Amino acid sequence: MRPNSETVPLDPTDRALINALQGGFPLVERPFAAVGTQLGIDEEEVIARIEFLKESGVLTRFGPMFQIERMGGAFVLAALAVPEERYEEVTAAVNQLPAVAHNYRRQHALNMWFVLATETPAGIPAVIAEIEALTGLPVYAFPKEREYFVELKFHA
Amino acid sequence: MPNSMPEDISIDRQLILATQAGLPLVPRPYDEIAERLGISGEEVRQRLTAMLADGRIRRIGAVPNHYALGYTFNGMSVWDVDDAVVDQLGEQVGALSCVSHCYRRPRHLPLWPYNLFAMVHARSESGALADVARIAELLGPACRAHEVLFSTRILKKTGLRISA
């Protein structure tokens, strides 16, 4: 993962493209051409700019965002209180698991917060047990009890 | 996957496997996926449309690294809200334009008294704290305590992956 402090220079077309791509990507035969028409650039330029934005880390993903819970799977937010001197080692142990979708360092006694995504609800306690075995630390699970709002969009 | 799985579901599953790491950056991305799966591009588009309609796909598009866009202050604000009113207030907090995600989650007493989580993202610390102040104002006396946990490093951000 690129360091958080680095920023990539973006021109107004990149910003317009990032904003456009956070809506619904067209389900048509030539979707990049359709996006280009909206922005006044051609298909080849749309593709080249997205390649650059992905390679430079400005876009972390480009494609369908699957809602695993609608397919019988489960998502759970969880946290660890990691001793500072073990932070790198524990990060490596947690991140190696494919069920760990995102992981953030945060400023708190609970200083590592990650999202577990598994194909079945039974997968969650198994992954939690695995993390506890790998790290020797208790995992605090924060399953969502109610979702009030989710709409992650950034204005570029 | 078991062989008894209906073919229809198994094709959707193959489609998920083929696209979860991202869409191919080619002029006809759906046709390229179709070729790999041995179905038509039209069928790929129809299946993705159906998955969008029933919520198996939230959206198709890009996920920016918010740090790269200058959103360097990403705070998980957490609130200890009276259980009697948390759902009503949670809906109102979720409706604020500055909040990207808002959930009710279990407490872990005594370490963790907070039951309402609201994510805010801003380009400055003062901007993030203004968002938090707006939430505090809305919650009023129903909130007993709160904290803001800023993220200081992205350790991993791959999104979900299912295995073949």
Rounded Cα distance, A144 and A128, in Å: 16
Higher-confidence residue of A23 and B126: namely B126
The rounded percent of chain B whose pLDDT value lies above 70 is 91
Residue-wise pLDDT tens digits, B10-38: 899 999 999 988 999 999 999 999 999 99
At residue A6 the predicted structure's pLDDT band, cuts being 50, 70 and 90, is: low
In a domain, B100, yes or no: yes
- Mutate one of A77, A148, A151, A155 to test the B interface: name it (highest B CB count within 10 A): A148
Q: At what angle do helices A31-39 and A12-21 cross, to 10 degrees?
A: 130
Enumerate the β-bridge partners of residue A79.
Answer: A113, A140
In a domain, B63, yes or no: no
Residue-wise pLDDT tens digits, A18-67: 999 987 899 999 999 999 999 999 999 999 999 999 999 899 889 999 88
Same domain, B77 and B127: yes
CA A52, A58, A62: angle at the middle one, nearest 5?
Answer: 75
| Chain B, window 145-164: residues with a beta carbon less than 8 angstroms from a chain A beta carbon | 147, 149-163
Residue-wise pLDDT tens digits, A94-111: 999 999 999 999 999 999
Mean pLDDT over the full length of chain B = 90
Mean pLDDT over the full length of chain A = 91
Residue A93 distance to chain B (closest CA, Å): 12
For residue A65, list chain B residues with Cβ-Cβ distance below 8 A: 57-61, 63, 159
Higher-confidence residue of A150 and A10: namely A10
Same domain, B49 and B118: no
CA proximity to A128, closest of A89, A84, A101, A94: A94
Q: Is it the case that residue B154 has pLDDT exceeding 70?
A: yes
Cis preceding linkage at B141, omega within 30: no
In a domain, B112, yes or no: yes
In the predicted model, what is the mean pLDDT of residues A117-131?
94
Same domain, B78 and B128: yes
The rounded percent of chain A whose pLDDT value lies above 90 is 74
Q: What is the ipTM of this complex?
A: 0.74
In a domain, B2, yes or no: no
Same domain, B48 and B78: no
At residue A71 the predicted structure's pLDDT band, cuts being 50, 70 and 90, is: confident
Check residue A20 and give its pLDDT: 93
Rounded Cα distance, A35 and A13, in Å: 12
Same domain, B20 and B86: no
Q: At what angle do helices A31-39 and B29-37 cross, to 10 degrees?
A: 170
In the predicted model, what is the mean pLDDT of residues B123-149?
95
CB A65 within 8 A of CB B159: yes
Rounded Cα distance, B157 and B128, in Å: 22
Same domain, B18 and B83: no
CB contact under 8 A, A22 and B161: no
For residue B157, list chain A residues with Cβ-Cβ distance below 8 A: 1, 60, 101-103
In a domain, B138, yes or no: yes
Same domain, B81 and B134: yes
What kind of fold does domain A68-142 have according to CATH? Answer: Alpha-Beta Plaits (3.30.70)
At residue A125 the predicted structure's pLDDT band, cuts being 50, 70 and 90, is: very high
Residue ranges of the domains in chain A?
12-55, 68-142
CB contact under 8 A, B48 and A33: no
Phi, psi (degrees; rounded to nearest 5) at B151: -80, 135
CATH number of the domain that B123 lies in? 3.30.70.920
| Chain B, window 59-78: residues with a beta carbon less than 8 angstroms from a chain A beta carbon | 59-72, 76
Residue range of the domain that includes B24: 7-53
- The CA-based diameter of chain A, rounded to the nearest angstrom, is 55
Choose among A30, A117, A152: nearest Cβ to B160. Answer: A117
Q: Is it the case that residue B94 has pLDDT exceeding 50?
A: yes
Total domains present in chain B: 2
Q: Is it the case that residue B3 has pLDDT exceeding 60?
A: no
